[in-house]
Structure 1
Amino acid sequence: MPSLNVSFTDEELEGVRAAAAAEGKSLKQYLHDLGVREMQRRQFVSGAAAWADRLRGEFDDAFPDEVPPSERHGGSAAA
């Protein structure tokens, strides 16, 4: 199985070890899971954005008076 070496400063490694211990995991398992979670998060965000883009026209037709905060006069503060 492929593996890799990752370099940390002493302070970084101390923080990562503490985070792994807080989750009750070995350092190796914690770093593995962290990478996998990030990959899954990116896939989810990409899928959610694509879903929203597909439905944007339908939403705009159903709610013509809704204006995205970024397009309001004064930006999101106008909300």
Structure 2
Amino acid sequence: MPSLNVSFTDEELEHVRVAAAAEGKSLKQYLHDLGVREHQRRTFVTGALDWGDKLRGQFDEAFPEEIPAEQRPGYGASAA
């Protein structure tokens, strides 16, 4: 199985150890899960943005009094 060596400063490693302990996990399991969760989060955000884009026209038709998407604060900002 592939593995990875990751370098941390002493201070960084201590923070990661504390976070792992807070979740009741080994350091190895915590870092593994962190990467997996980040991938899942990015997949979810991308899907949610695609879904919103697909339905934007229907929403704008149903609620013409709402502010157009391109005029909303933060429109076009990357969430991922």
Q: Structure 2 length as normaliser, TM-score?
A: 0.86
**Secondary structure of 1:5's aligned partner:** coil
Question: Corresponding residue for 2:13?
Answer: 13
User: Percent of counterpart pairs with the same letter?
Assistant: 76
Question: How many pairs does the alignment contain?
Answer: 74
Offset from partner CA, 1:33-76 (integer Å, 9 cap, x none): 0000000000000000000000000000000000058726xx58
> Is 1:33 aligned to 2:33, yes or no?
yes
- Which 4+ stretches in 1 moved above 3 angstroms? none
Question: Corresponding residue for 1:4?
Answer: 4
More helix by share: 1
Q: Any gaps of 5 or more consecutive residues in structure 2?
A: 75-80
Q: Which has the higher contact order (CA 8 A, sep 6+)?
A: 2
Q: How does 1:1-79 map to 2 (within 5 A)?
A: 1-68=1-68, 71=71
Alignment RMSD, CA only?
1.8
Question: Corresponding residue for 2:78?
Answer: none
Q: Any gaps of 5 or more consecutive residues in structure 1?
A: none
Quick one: which amino acid aligns to residue 28 of structure 2?
A: K
Q: Which has the larger radius of gyration?
A: 1
